[in-house]
Amino acid sequence: MGATERDDGNEFGDLTDKQGTVLALLANGRTSKEIASALDLSESAVNRRIELLRIRFGGITRLELARRYRDWMTGLATENGASIHGVEIDRQRLRLALPPPARR
């Protein structure tokens, strides 16, 4: 198991809000320019965040980073018996917080 992989299935659990938002948009197929516009950041700031995450996860490609994040989010939703909720805003799908798990 690599240094960036976690055996608890929570490899993205300690992302900052900004990192999570950038990854969510990347996982939804947005370009750096589109992400920068949506978040009111410079394109270079977005690229820096993505590059640092790629390095953190062993130098994987942007595509692989997006796929792994998407798979992780799907797994979280499945664990909680929910689906991933989002909202469309000018062609951009932003992820919203998952609903809390049902109490038993």
Q: Is residue 29 part of a domain?
A: yes
Domain that holds residue 37: 17-90
Please give the chain's pLDDT, 104 residues, in tens. 344 444 445 788 888 888 999 999 999 999 999 999 999 999 999 999 999 999 999 999 999 999 999 888 887 766 666 555 444 444 445 555 455 566 65
Supply the pLDDT for residue 9. 59
Supply the pLDDT for residue 34. 94
Residue spans of beta strands (DSSP E) within the chain: 86-89, 92-95
On whether the CB atoms of residues 38 and 62 are closer than 8 A, the answer is no
Q: Is residue 48 part of a domain?
A: yes
Q: Is residue 40 part of a domain?
A: yes
CATH number at residue 42: 1.10.10
Domain count for the chain: 1
Q: Is residue 24 part of a domain?
A: yes
Q: Is residue 6 part of a domain?
A: no
